[in-house]
């Protein structure tokens, strides 16, 4: 039996069906009426067209002969057509014949001109007026609307009623059965009996069968989930008991509802039941109910319950009853039931040891990060994990470019594959590797003293590789300079000895050659040979003077002078020499005077040697000689640059060695640059060279002159 309910789905479904059917009926009826209206209008227009084709000719003949009977009969025939209400013939602006009623409000009118041919000419003899009313069309449409709506309403009512009965029988009663079954489900009592619907068998499972199966599945899975939840709760309790952090549960009044094993041990209790029901303030104060920090911790928990928000406090001091001072961390999270905060879960931990470890970790991190040594840490398979600041600054890399990339790929441009293979061989043998790396980096030579060793875990597996290095480039440069200075000192002493031992005999030989040269019995060839020998003696004497400069670099008097003036005088004296060599001069001088304190003639000799060497380097093809001066703090820097072919890389290291020269034996002695080096070093400065094909630059750095109280200039230190 059908039980009608106010909130049943069937009435609402029936209402929606009726509403939808009515809308469809109204739309279809309107569309049908529109088509009928268009058809009737088309019929009237077709009739108007037929009049023009068939009825005008007889009417024109009757009007021409003024046959009243024929004209009247023809007009009567026109108004007998459905919807045509008026027909008239107008002649000379007056209605001559008319049938029907004119003046209809809703009508269509059409006018036809009447013609007659007379003597080959066509003349208009009158006009035919035909009027059709639209009232008949509208009335027919109204009748059709009533019929269509009535028939559609009856069909809609019958279909809706039938759908209502079917839905109530096939769906609604089963939905009610499912609802009652769901209301009686209680998974705490076990798995309920499966739901079966009393309905006739179907070919296959339909929607109701699927819902029934889903309900039965939900009951089974819900019971299994409840069992799993209970198991999870048990495991959670075991986990909370296993953790070293104190975990408390409190209700809305701040009373303890749960405490784990760590809490029992921390607060010196015997069992968890000893603390259940106690105020959380008593638990947190630990015998100090008046302690400010204890009250703060308790207030934090109560604030969590009152505000319903998670709150925390880190590094709070706490004094235990036995006098032990701790640093604790407390996190309090609210617990909600039905949108109401019913308590809180409190995590309470002693972080004293953790703080000590964190401080040590931060200290070690600062040491590694700020250590002057280069430190790189990679994984066991050679992927970079960390580099410190000294590593970045020394080698010019950025940490973001290296971390996460293999070491071989990061430093491929250094061409260290041979070193990598040796290091990997030692690491595979679980041994450390110590050695030096040398490579060109960003246009400069870098030498590193490195130690690479593996890091192992507790199981003896290699987890990381640490590389620690030290930049010994400057140290090696200083050692090279020291060795060079010692060598120059030894050469100077040797030069002084050679000059002393060879100077006087060479002078006697020269005088003897000149005396022999003055004898009259000598032939021209003999005189030429003697002149060549004398020239060689002069060349040897000049060589001895150059050798003496090694041992006497500062014998002259030191004065203050402008370096710009000295360079301009040198260029003026050697103008012809430079022009002969096809050398163009480019001066890039600092606008300020460059005051030096030193032996002027020795400094002059230094720049003469450098300018002459630069011109000789461009001999033959010519080139550009560029002189640049600058004042950097306490130093004067002069660059002498030529556009010659450059110095071979294997000659750079020997360029300042005595007697080493790339010129022909008759052109150079190999002492110009060594003498210049000794003079510059004696004045507290430095001289460096950089060369590449098409460009060579000698850079001389000298200390500026400093003023003293008596107004004299002395060498700046």
What pTM, to 2 d.p., does this model score?
A: 0.36
- The values of phi and psi at residue 268, to 5°, are 60, 45
Instruction: Give the integer Cα–Cα distance in Å for 641 and 237.
Output: 83
Looking at residue 1, what is its pLDDT? 38
Pairing of the two strands 340-350 and 325-337: antiparallel
Looking at residue 284, what is its pLDDT? 62
Looking at residue 706, what is its pLDDT? 58
Angle 608-611-613 from CA coordinates, rounded to 5°: 105
Looking at residue 493, what is its pLDDT? 64
Helix residue ranges per DSSP H, 51-134: 56-64, 68-79
pLDDT, averaged in runs of 10, over the chain (717 residues): 54 77 82 85 86 84 86 86 86 86 80 83 86 84 83 80 78 81 79 80 76 85 83 82 83 85 78 79 53 61 84 73 71 87 85 78 79 85 86 78 82 67 84 78 70 88 87 70 62 64 71 74 77 76 62 62 90 84 89 88 87 82 89 90 82 67 50 79 86 89 65 34
Looking at residue 283, what is its pLDDT? 60
Residue 544 near residue 498, CB atoms below 8 Å: yes
Instruction: Give the integer Cα–Cα distance in Å for 392 and 396.
Output: 5
Instruction: Give the integer Cα–Cα distance in Å for 192 and 439.
Output: 81
Instruction: Give the integer Cα–Cα distance in Å for 711 and 271.
Output: 93
Least Cα distance to 562 among 591, 594, 599 occurs for: 594
Rg, the chain, Cα only? 60
């Amino acid at each position: 039996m059908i039980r009608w309910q106010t909130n049943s789905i069937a009435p609402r479904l029936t209402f929606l069906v009726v509403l939808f059917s009515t809308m469809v009926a109204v739309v279809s009826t309107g569309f049908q009426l529109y088509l009928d209206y268009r058809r009737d209008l088309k019929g009237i227009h077709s009739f108007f067209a037929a009049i023009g084709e068939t009825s005008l000719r007889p009417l024109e003949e009757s009007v021409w002969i003024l046959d009243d009977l024929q004209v009247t009969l023809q007009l009567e025939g026109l108004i007998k057509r459905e919807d045509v209400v008026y027909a008239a013939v107008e002649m000379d602006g007056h209605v001559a014949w008319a049938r029907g009623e004119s003046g209809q409000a809703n009508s269509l009118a059409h006018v036809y001109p009447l013609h007659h041919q007379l003597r080959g000419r066509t003349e208009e003899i009158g006009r035919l007026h035909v009027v059709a009313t639209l009232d008949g069309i509208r009335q027919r449409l109204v009748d059709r609307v009533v019929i269509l709506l009535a028939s559609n309403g009856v069909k809609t009512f019958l279909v809706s009623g039938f759908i209502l009965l079917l839905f109530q029988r096939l769906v609604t009663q089963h939905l009610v059965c499912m609802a009652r079954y769901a209301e009686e489900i209680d998974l705490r009592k076990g798995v309920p009996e499966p739901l079966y619907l009393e309905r006739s068998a179907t070919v296959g499972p339909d929607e109701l069968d699927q819902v029934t199966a889903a309900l039965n599945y939900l009951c089974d899975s819900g019971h299994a989930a409840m069992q799993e939840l209970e198991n999870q709760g048990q495991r959670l309790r075991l986990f909370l008991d296993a953790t070293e952090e104190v975990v408390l549960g409190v209700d809305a009044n701040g009373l303890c509802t749960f405490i784990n094993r760590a809490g029992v041990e921390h607060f010196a209790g015997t069992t968890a039941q000893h603390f259940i029901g106690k105020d959380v303030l008593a638990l947190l104060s630990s015998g100090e109910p008046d302690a400010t920090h204890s009250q703060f911790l308790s207030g934090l928990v109560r604030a969590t319950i009152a505000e319903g928000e998670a709150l925390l406090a880190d590094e709070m001091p706490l004094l235990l009853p036995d006098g032990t001072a701790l640093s604790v961390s407390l996190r309090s999270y609210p617990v909600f039931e039905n949108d109401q905060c019913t308590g809180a879960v409190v995590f309470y931990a002693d972080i004293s040891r953790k703080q000590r470890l964190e401080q040590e970790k931060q200290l070690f991190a600062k040491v590694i990060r700020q250590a002057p040594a280069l430190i790189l840490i990679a994984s066991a398979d050679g992927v970079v994990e960390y580099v410190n600041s000294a590593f970045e600054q020394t080698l010019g890399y950025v940490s973001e470019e290296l971390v996460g990339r293999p070491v071989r790929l990061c430093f491929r441009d250094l061409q260290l594959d041979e070193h990598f293979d040796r290091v990997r061989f030692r690491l595979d043998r679980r041994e450390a590797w110590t050695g030096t790396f040398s490579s060109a980096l960003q246009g400069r030579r870098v030498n590193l003293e490195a130690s690479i060793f593996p890091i192992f875990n507790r199981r003896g597996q290699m987890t990381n590789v640490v590389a620690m290095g030290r930049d010994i480039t400057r140290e090696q440069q200083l050692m090279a300079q020291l060795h060079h200075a010692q060598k120059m000192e030894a050469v100077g002493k040797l030069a002084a000895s050679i000059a002393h031992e060879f100077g006087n005999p060479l002078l006697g030989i020269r005088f003897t050659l000149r005396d022999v040269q003055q004898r009259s019995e000598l032939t021209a060839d003999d005189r030429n040979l003697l002149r060549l020998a004398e020239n060689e003696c002069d060349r040897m004497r000049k060589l001895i003077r150059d050798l003496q400069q090694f041992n006497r670099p500062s014998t002259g008097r030191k004065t203050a002078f402008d370096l710009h003036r000295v360079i301009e005088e040198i260029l003026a004296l050697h103008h012809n020499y430079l022009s002969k060599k096809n050398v163009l001069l480019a001066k890039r001088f600092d606008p300020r005077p460059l005051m030096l304190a030193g032996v002027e003639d020795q400094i002059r000799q230094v720049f003469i040697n450098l300018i002459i060497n630069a011109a000789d380097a461009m001999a033959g093809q010519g080139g550009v000689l560029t002189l640049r001066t600058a004042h950097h703090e306490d130093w004067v820097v002069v660059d002498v640059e030529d556009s010659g072919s450059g110095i071979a890389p294997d000659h750079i290291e020997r360029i300042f060695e005595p007697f080493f020269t790339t010129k022909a034996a008759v052109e150079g002695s190999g002492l110009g640059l060594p003498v210049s080096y000794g003079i510059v070093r004696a004045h507290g400065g430095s001289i460096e060279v950089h060369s590449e094909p098409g460009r060579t630059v000698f850079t001389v750095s000298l200390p500026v002159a400093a003023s003293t109280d008596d107004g004299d200039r002395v060498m700046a230190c």
